[in-house]
Amino acid sequence: MFYIYFIFSLIAAIFVYIDSTKQQMPRWWSAVIFFAPVTMIYYIIKTRQKKSLIPITLFVLIFVLVGAGESFLYTRIKDKIIYSNYSDTAKEILEFANELEYSVKQLNDLTLELEGMNSIDSSPAKIDEVLSFVYTMRQMLKENDRSVKEFILVINDYRDILIQEHFERLLKIEEYYKQPVVIKYLNNLDLYLEAFAGILKYTGENSQEIKDRVPMYIKNYDGYYMNYVRALESHNRIDVARMQFQHNFLLHYPELKPYLPTILQTRFVNIWNKK
């Protein structure tokens, strides 16, 4: 650490050493600047007086950039330093945890996109685009389910090691995903997406007949639409219960938020309306 800071201090000290000779100031100022670069402000005021504003501003700007650079480097290597102290088994467990976190993030991003999808242009191209999104999200649900099950298997195999290396918090992830309200939420989300895909597919394949109000197609469309509305209402009911449980869960384990489904800001997935 302090790689940039050391170089910055050294350059500042060399500059002051040369400048102090020209300004007929004690050369020990360079040593003071090296060990405490912030004293450069006092040195500038003392040697530049009324012309010190611009040099001080420039110094403060560079000093802030150096601090930001050090912070960036620290965040990059901090986890690697901590990670290197773990056993090989612990590292393997953390890899599975990272996979779960990545899977959850992808699913959460899609869920947030779904939340805002309350009206769709009825053109075949737009319907196909949304249908592709729904298929992608259903596939992501399956991937997320696989990641959750793999992670639970791993932490059960190495439960003692997790406790020994102070990773007990990861055991709580299993507790969350085995809650009936969470299991029901994920199942209902898939059923909702299935119903959504059904009405989209039927509308896309029969858009002209529906637009022409052909009775048989309108009747079928209404059936798909009612199935969709029932699935949506069922999903929203269980999602309210899931979010209430998750809110309380995160009060106790806030650090586990990256491993859990998102909590929607509106509390509901909106109903789809065909424009």
Contact (CB, 8 A) for 235 and 194: no
Is pLDDT of 39 > 80?
Answer: no
Q: Is pTM beyond 0.95 here?
A: no
| pLDDT higher at 130 or 8 | 130
Backbone dihedral region for residue 49 (phi beyond 0: left; psi -120 to 50: alpha; all else: beta)? left
Q: How confident is the model at residue 28, as a pLDDT? A: 77
Q: How confident is the model at residue 197, as a pLDDT? A: 93
Is pLDDT of 81 > 70?
Answer: no
Arithmetic mean of pLDDT, 87-100: 82
Q: How confident is the model at residue 271, as a pLDDT? A: 52
Q: Tell me the C-alpha distance between 5 and 179, whole Å.
A: 50
Instruction: Return the amino acid letter for 50.
Output: K
Q: How confident is the model at residue 80, as a pLDDT? A: 54
Arithmetic mean of pLDDT, 11-21: 75
Q: Tell me the C-alpha distance between 123 and 66, whole Å.
A: 54
Geometric angle at alpha carbon 275, from 141 and 273, rounded to 5°? 45
Provide the β-strand partners of residue 120: 274
DSSP string of 66-106?
Answer: HHHHHHHHHHHHHHHHHHHTS-HHHHHHHHHHHHHHHHHHH
Is pLDDT of 132 > 90?
Answer: yes
Arithmetic mean of pLDDT, 191-209: 91
| pLDDT higher at 267 or 92 | 92
